[in-house]
Structures are given as structure tokens and as C-alpha cells.
Structure 1
Amino acid sequence: MFEPVLLRNIDVPDGHRLPTYEAGGGYRALAKVLREHTPDEVVDLVKQSNLRGRGGAGFPTGMKWGFVPKLADKPKYLCCNADEGEPGTFKDRIIMERDPHQLIEGLAVSAYAIGAKTAYVYIRGEYVTAIRRLEQAIAEAHEKGYLGTGVLGSDFNFAVHIHCGAGAYICGEETAMLESLEGKRAQPRLKPPFPAAAGLYASPTVINNVETLACVPHIVMRGAHWFRGIGPDKSPGPKLYCLSGQVRKPGLYELPMGIPLRQLVEDHAGGPLPGRRIKAVIPGGVSAPVIPEHGLDVAMDFDSLAAAGSMLGSAGVIVVDDSTCMVKITTRIIEFFHHESCGKCTPCREGLNWAVKVLRRIEAGEGAPGDLEQLEMLCKGIFGNTFCALGDGAAMGLRAALKHFRDEFVTHIEERKCPFH
């Protein structure tokens, strides 16, 4: 039985309040690093743990921290990406609502490691409860000396600010998020320079996801060896999986990284609804290419899913059963990406526009011979030709649907109707 780490306070009464967090060992990691470790030692510890970013890209966190120049003539910043706009994903919201001090301690330890005195939590404005709980937690932490001037009697000064977004999916992309923080229109920046060298206000900046930062205090207290002992060595640690869709027990599950997708869906989430069979699963939010039922024995980690032609992404696992039309699902997903595209890149802006028109025509029973080839051509024009991964995610998802469920698209075109509805 896996013992929860990140979700240990989720069902505890008043788990979002400081006394409850302290009673479970909260802020001991912050006290430990301030008392016993230099910033470089904390960076090395996170490198040894092989913690990889939980926001989608899976980049090694310690390596990202190491890119920040030690000597800089500008202040360093830490930014928490709490926008969580990926459909099917709700893990960060639960942490912020139920255990916000876990995030705040992770921010403080991480800021100490990289030499930052200021952190910004960029959170989507729809997360009203999470925003209120974070504001309350920041006030409690200030009052007890975990934030502010001279944290816990040390010479470390640290402040956390909350910045509310307006629900734009593109702000999940780190450089678009920085543009929004600076009061500009949220559009991805050309890289290089990377944020570690020139990020917020052209200063050295580290950007981490909520779940990533929540792992840091546990690594400090339990050690890198403990963290690497959970799951595969190349993608270790506890992981939060968001289960939704046509499954008996949807919800948020904390399990080891690398658990087989089939075990996650059938055993933990209870399998498909009565009388139904699983048709496919989207393993990492709608940016992740769909996996058909026969491929569900893949391990839920970065490398295994990449080898299987998909990705872990945000671990937003969406289950699709045999009553559902894949043409309809694919159309809705591409409509979402088209709507959320910032419009900066011509391949993304125009390519997704045409893809939506073709998909809507097919779904309406008005498809024509050559439509599928046109969709494949559009994917080729979008993929790898954009500033950020939004266009790539859309193209990969569309390609996977056409590859694994081409017969459904062909049926829509030949029979001029949807066989499911």
C-alpha cells in the first residue's frame, strides 16, 4: 500500500491551516536548510534526487536551478506556474486548496537554493478558493516568521506574491506567463535567452510547477535516496494522477511514478462504466496523444510514454469508452487549441483554423475524399514550426487520433453520418 506524501493532509480537517501543517512536520525542511545547508548543497540534493518537473515537460529540476548564474547584477526571481489550464488536470488546485503551506514551504526552500528573495505564484483567476486559501496561508506564514525579513532568524529574506490570470491557456507556457506577469499580452518569447538567464524583468528566473515545488520539502527531510527509491530511476518519486472521463471512480490519486496505465485505470479508478469497454485513454491532458486500449500496459513515466508515442504531460488521465465517437472528441480538442492559440505563429493560427473547419465538416457528415490527407498535411505544417508547444500538442493529438481511429473518420466520410449518435 503506497503511503501518500503530497496528499497526506488532503482529507485532514483544517488541513489548509498552519497549525495542522506544523503538526505534521511542516516548515521543518525550511528550518533545516537555513540551519544546515548552503544554497549550493540544496541544489545538489535536488539534482541527486532526479526530481523532474511535474508541469508537463519533465525537465530535471536541479539542472534548471543550476542554470541560474551565481553572480548577477539583477535580482533573481522564482515563479510558480499555477495556471493549470490543461483540460483534465486538477492536481495543483487540490494542493493549493487543501494544503497551501506545502507549496509555500517548497517556494521558500527553492528560493533559498537559487538565491531569490521574491516569488510570484501565477494562478488562474477561476481558482477562487485556492486563491483565498493561499492568501490566508501567506498571512499565517508571515506571522510565524516563515516569510518576510529574516526568515526564522536567518539572514534570508523572502516574499511571496499572488498574481491572478484571466484563464488563458497560453499562460501555462512559461515565457507567455512571464509576459503576462509584466503586464503585457501573453505570448511566448523566442528562446534563447532562456528564463534562467533573462526571465522576469530580464532577470534570472526559475519557473516551477506547483506539484514540483511541493516535492522539494520532502526531498530535504527524507533525502534524495528515498525519492529515487520510488518508481523508475530516470523518472522517480511520488506522482499525482488526475483520473476523469468514463470511469467508475474519477478523482486525484497519488501513486509511484511508473505505475502501468492499465493498473491505474482498471484497479485504482475502477475501470469502465457498467456494460462498457475502454476504447482509449488520453494519459497527460489533451496535449498528450491518445493511446488505444491495446496499448494501456505502458508505464506512466516520461520516458516510457514518449517511447509509446505519447507523453506524461500533466498526468491528466482521461478515459474514453466504446460509446464515444473519437471524431467528436478530436474535433472538440482541436477547437480548444484553436480558441486558445495566442495567434503569434502563422502555422498555429492558420493551421488550427483550417483543421477545425475540416473536422467540423467531417463530424457533420459533410466530409469529402482527401479530408484526412489534408488534416495530415496541416499537422506536418504545424508541428515543429511554432514558438511554443501549443501547436505541437494539437498536431500530435490529431495525428494520433487519425492513426489509431482512422476507421471512424472514414466511416463519417463514407456514410455521411456519425455511427455513434
Structure 2
Amino acid sequence: MRQEVCLYSSEGVHWVELQSDGSLLHSLYRGVEQVKQHLWRFSSTVKQFSAILLHGHLHMLMAYESGIYYARCSVNAREDEKQELRISRHPSSSNPYLFNLGRTLYFGFTTILNKKFTYVLRQVEQGRWRERAFSYVHEDYGVNVHIEQASCDISESGTLYGLFLIRHGDTNRQQLMLLELDMESEEAKWQHVFSSAQAGQSWSITISAAREGDPYLAWVVHNGVTATVYCARGIQVTNSCIPLKVFFQNQFSVPRLTIAGEHGLFLSITGSSWLASTYSSNGGKNWGSFMEVPFARESRLRIIQGVRCSEQDHVPVPLLGIGYPCFRPIELIDLFHPFLTMNTMGPSVQDDVLLHYAKLQLGVLHEFASERIAVWQEEMMLLEERLLQEEHVLQRLESFIEEMEREQYRVLEQLHAVGSNLAPFGIRLIQ
């Protein structure tokens, strides 16, 4: 899959695309027709890269054959103005992930150190460098072990989640590992998610951090003409061996998960221009039925790297959407609005396809509403049960107060009886 990055700034739309010769092509679109392009070549061939745009400079973390390198390139200078810095010289280093939180720039990548799978996180803040390495110590990895894929995301609370696919070349074993790392912590949490030793498989993985709670995980196992979809929520992977869906197609792209509040949206591309989607309205416990929608080739349906931006944070995230140079991600609302996405599919869409798609979306909307009503009914039952329990507690408290009042009255009567039996007495003060 061709690696593309789409970034937005006041100058226009920036596209950074990895070329076949290992160079990076930067295209700046100020309009549909106005484009400014520049080809960046570096000291070695780029295999993978992660990029964000900060203060007029494109910051990139790149994986070479010889290790991990960081580059800062000006997007406004007329000349080839760039700086290049080596981050890791270990040849097993790969899967670069560059992000910015506040004033700190973070450089994350995977490697094998002393036969241990390790995630390295370097950071720089106002010229001061810091490096931390987090190893999975429960297993040794030999020279034929390759960290084939990585998917990372950052939660709103600043927790890094990483999903990693590790392939063992000698045994055909493939395993998924989940990493949870607080930005200020010196220790990381590792969790084994899934594994398989069947030969001839290829996998696609993705992770998305929820606003609260555990992240959403999804992976697709390709085996011949079948593609099996799995979804899980954080470390609660007891049901992860149960497939969510099996597609009988030999073309299935990398999946994409989107989190909107408590709703989870699963998106992927099947065939050449078909969108497969489903959603969860209860935190990943249950998923709706899949809906497959055809798109025209002119829409350029694909997955790219975008950036989720806040006031001071810039976090790379995968996006599935359409359009070029203006890229439009597919959102949850698109499942419920047939004309919103169908109008972007091009003139090749026929009326019968539009009607079929509208019926599909009405079915999805009905299913979504039914599930929401069921969730609300369950919440109402829990609320009524809680109110009933509080009423019982209040009744017991009132009974206890009445008992205490009776006990107080009985004690006062006893004191009065004792006082009436005492002879009168007086006290004389002598000066």
C-alpha cells in the first residue's frame, strides 16, 4: 500500500508521498489547479515515515535500512532546506511514530534489543533529550523475528497505545501485542492479544484510543481468498477468537477504527472501491451487521495518514476517505445519510445503486435506533433498580430513627423515675 500523508495549514493542503525510489514528494495545493511540488532525497532510501506539520516545517521520522532518522524540512523555503539527525543506528529499528504533545516532540519506534521486543520513546523539549526503552521481557526473539506492522494512537489523557504484529520467520508464528504507556511513566503494560501459526497468512491491524477507557483493536487475517475480521476492546480480549465477519475476497485493505464518544466505527476497503463498515453503540460489546457500499474509482477511496490536532497537540492517525487534493474522511453520520456520500461517487452511480444504498442505510439507521433504545431501556431499568434500593435504604433509616426516638423516650422516663425517688437536698456556699 502506498504511504501518503495529508496535512492542512494556512498555506493550503500538503501531501507527502513515498516514491518507489525511497524519496519523498511534497505537494502543496493552494487550489485545485495551483500546485507546488518538491522532491526530497535523503542520505538513504526511506522505507517508512511518519510526519506532522509544525510552525512552517515538516517534521518527519523515517525508517532506513540502517536505522531511524529524523528530518525537519521547510515547506516555504525556495531551496532544499532540510536537517537530518540519526535517532537509532540499530538495523532492526522500524515503524516510526512521530507526535507532538504540548512543547514536547516524541519519537517512537520498535526494535529488537538483547533478544527482547522493545518500544523506544525519545523526546526533546527545549533542546533537552530523554530516551526510554520498554521491553517485553517474557519472551526471547531471534534473528528471524520481524516486527511487521505497528499501529499507535494517543488518548486525550496522554496515554500511548500501540498494537504490534510480530512475525516469526522460522515457525510462521504471528502474534499481536498491545502496549499501554503513560507519557511520564518509566514502566509499560504489555498484553498478548492474539496469535496464529498457520502458514500463508497475512495480517492488517489498527488501533484507536477511546475518549475514556480501553482502546479499540481490530485486525484482519488474510488467508487465500478469505479475510477474517476481529475486533476487541483493550485487554478484554476473551472473545477475540470469535470472528466478527468473514469476507470471501482476495482484496481487503488495512482496516480503520473511528471512535465517536461511546460509538465505535469500523471501516475498510474491500475489492478495489468498496467500503465495508459496521459500528458498535455499546463500547465494543456488540457490533451491527456489515454494510458494503460501492464507490466510483474517481473518488479515490483509500487510507492515508492524517493528523488529529488540538490547541497544542499533533497526533498522526490513519484516515479512510475520498478525494484529492482535498481529502474527506468517512464519518459515522455517512452511514445514515445516503446522498451525502453517494454524491461524491461520481457520475457512474446509477439510480438503482443509489436506491439500494439508501435501503441499506435505512436498515442500518433502524438497527442503530433499535440498539440505542435497548441501551436506554437497560439504563432506565438500572436507574429504577437503583432508586428502589435507595428507597429501601431510606425506609431502613427512618425505622432506625424511630427506634432511636423510642429508646430516647424510654431513657428519659427512667431518669425521671429515678429523680422522683431521691430526697430533696440543698447546697450552702461558705464564704
- Could you state the TM-score of these two structures normalised by the residue count of structure 1? 0.25
Q: Which has the higher helix share?
A: 1
TM superposition score normalised by structure 2:
0.25
Q: Bigger radius of gyration, 1 or 2?
A: 2
Tell which has more relative contact order, 1 or 2 (C-alpha 8 A, sep 6+): 1
